[in-house]
Amino acid sequence: MSKIYAISISALLFALSHFINSNIDAGSFISSILIGVICGYCYLSTGSSLSAMLPHLTNNIIWIGYILILCGQRP
C-alpha cells in the first residue's frame, strides 16, 4: 500500500509543477502526471543506493522523452 502512496505523491508533485509553470494545456497536464508515475515507480523499483538507481533513471528519462513527444511537447 505504501507503494501506491509514493507513486501518487510523485504524480501529484509533477502535476503541481505543471500548475507552477502556468501551462494549462490538457495534454501536457496528463503527460506531467504520467511522468510523475514513472518517476515514482523508478524510485520504488530501485534500492536506496545511487548506483542501483542510475540504470533505471536512464531508462525512465528515455521513456519520459518518448511520452513528451507523444503528447506534442519537445523535451
- How confident is the model over 16-71, as pLDDT tens digits? 666 655 555 666 667 667 777 777 666 666 555 555 556 666 666 677 766 666 66
User: Can you give the pLDDT at residue 27?
Assistant: 63
User: Can you give the pLDDT at residue 1?
Assistant: 47
Domain boundaries, the chain: 2-70
pTM of the model: 0.41
User: Quick one: pLDDT band at residue 5, thresholds 50, 70, 90?
Assistant: low
If 0-12 CB within 10 Å is exposed, 13-18 middle and 19+ buried, where does residue 41 land?
middle
